[in-house]
Chain A
């Protein structure tokens, strides 16, 4: 069982982010870390490979400046190797461009399944996994909250608003997992040391024979989110509950 996992490396959410005035996209020139939402895909892959009795977990990532810190974290968790695509041509890449790059990178090593997070914590487009599936000509299952493999079939509990759907799908397939699908492990000391010598293949778009790729999307403008309006304040004179009920009725909540 070989699994490819998409891993995004993002600016640390705990540090204040900033927008590049030129490209109007998030600045990514500092140190990047593994997106938390991808740690679930990595853990899921490690567990599935383990259950299948062996195999490889290959990480695929696209990031500027040859950044590998986030990949090292995932390698320390136990992944086998990483493929990183880093090219100035990809600066400001939109989701579809990224999907084209990753779909190519995924094909460098044999795989039975591709895992990804549902959406990244810095971009939130949430379109990448299905785009990759389309580009690879594979079926895709999104919002997996439970994943198991039996032979050449993957079974997924797919989160819905009302509950979940039971979905089965032939492999190879692309599956995007929700936070909480599994509990990601903490990289152990041994894992960290082992990760130092694990291979990270760094590629340009030319290496992927994607020379003609061009970033198609352009961000026209970025606006601040509307400031939240101050709510209405009532002094509770003993009839406060009536106002609360009236308010909820107005929203058709009661």
Chain B
């Protein structure tokens, strides 16, 4: 933190008129001020290089750990922040303004910790062993649901766990697993079918906490991705992996339904990342059109360009409002099924549109990875795909309206 690089602790959103005063308490504002400053001073400067070099930065992760972002949702008893969903959304949004890769790194760890506690909170010994260091970001827990055979139909799980005396033997493969190959990666919450499907019905699915260094676990080569370049994503292979019965989280055969029902709220941090990314597009494009001259005047003085800026600003506001309306409801114990699907869908599509407009406004620079707009464009693409595709969100919305899809 350098005095010459002073930045505003003021909420930039005030400028935009979308500070959502009703949605936040004083501690949310203080948290936003702190994490936003952290992002401008520690995250933003090297974000282009990390992305261009496809580099996951362990030192930055350690710094994030000190802010408490990873453990926000865990109770203080386990070294967490005891925070609400809005606080996690604020972190995801602020980080994604500059670095979506880091935002998803935080997001996955935060939801994995929350899920672990949800499935096995009665196992205090295990929680004491695993959760505090996970909250500090010193050990990562990844979330292993998606399989090579398809993620949208997530109940169709082929990875098998079979009983063998007091142990389980796991065989199968997972695909696109975030945070599974970093220096911190220690566990995966693994969803496995735990009995046959002899009667033609889908087998019950259970959740296990599997150490990534267990014999028979192979962390595959990292994917060469279109975006999220400095996040860590690998396939995982399980070849006769033996785990004790204590690795089973919660009740056999109920892990999957419990997890999916519990994780409905996890779409809000993705919506928040979308809002942050759209806002990042606004900041960068606004800077560009204000400084670039075209036909004898600033680009932003041409109505055609100014309208695009207004469009990006509106999309960013839309994503933010959708996010915090739902997160507020969740924090106040209200149902959020429709809000979660709608916010995830609308916010992620808005982010893509904002990134498209920002890159177009920046012309050739918008195609060069040094520019924030270009990186936002790359990072936006996954947002309508991960954590349930736009189509899956529409399925859920339509079903909620009584349609038999």
**Interface residues, chain A, with chain B CB atoms under 8 Å away:** 12-15, 33, 36-37, 39, 72-73, 76, 121, 179-180, 183-193, 195-196
Residue of B nearest to A34 (CB): B9
**Residue of A with least CB distance to B90:** A189
Complex: A247 Cα to B359 Cα, angstroms: 45
Q: Which of B22-72 contact A (CB under 8 A)?
A: 26-27, 30-31, 33-35, 37-38, 66-69, 72
**B390 at interface (Cβ–Cβ under 8 A)?**
no
Q: Does B83 contact A (CB under 8 A)?
A: yes
Inter-subunit contact A33/B9 (CB<8 Å): yes
Q: In whole Å, how far is B348's beta carbon from the nearest beta carbon of chain A?
A: 26
CA distance A11 to B26 in the complex (A): 18
Contact of B87 (CB < 8 Å), options: A12, A73, A186, A189: A189
> Do A14 and B30 touch (CB < 8 A)?
no
Residues of B within 8 A of A183 (CB): 1
CB pair B34 A76 closer than 8 Å? yes
Cβ-closest chain A residue relative to B72: A189
Report whether A189 and B68 are in contact in the complex, using a CB–CB cutoff of 8 Å. Answer: yes
Q: Is the CB of A14 within 8 A of B27?
A: no
Size of the B side of the interface (Cβ < 8 Å), in residues, is 27
Q: Tell whether B3 is near chain A: CB-to-CB under 8 Å.
A: yes
Alpha-carbon separation in the docked complex, A191 to B31 (Å): 10
- Shortest 6 CB-CB distances between A and B: which pairs? A14-B8, A189-B68, A179-B3, A189-B81, A188-B68, A187-B34
Chain B residue nearest to A185 (CB atoms) is B66
Jot down 18 A-B pairs with beta carbons below 8 A, ordered by A. A14-B6, A36-B6, A39-B1, A72-B30, A73-B34, A76-B30, A121-B6, A179-B2, A183-B1, A186-B35, A186-B38, A188-B34, A188-B66, A188-B68, A192-B31, A193-B27, A195-B30, A196-B26
Residue of B nearest to A77 (CB): B34
Select one of A12, A72, A184, A196 contacting B8, CB under 8 A. Answer: A12
**Given the complex, which residues of A lie within 8 Å of B37, measured CB to CB?**
186
Determine the distance from Cα of A190 to Cα of B136 in the docked complex, in whole angstroms: 12
Please tell me if the beta carbons of B30 and A73 are within 8 angstroms of each other in the complex. yes
The residue that B68 contacts in the complex, of A14, A15, A73, A190, with Cβ under 8 A, is: A190
The reply on B7 being an interface residue by CB < 8 A is yes
Tell whether, in the assembled complex, residue A189 and residue B67 are in contact, meaning their CB atoms are under 8 Å apart: yes
* Residue B153 CB within 8 A of the other chain: no
Task: Tell me, in angstroms, the Cα distance from A33 to B35 when the chains sit together.
Answer: 16
> Is B31 touching A189 in the complex (CB atoms < 8 A)?
yes
Q: How far is the CA of A73 from the CA of B34 in the complex (A)?
A: 9
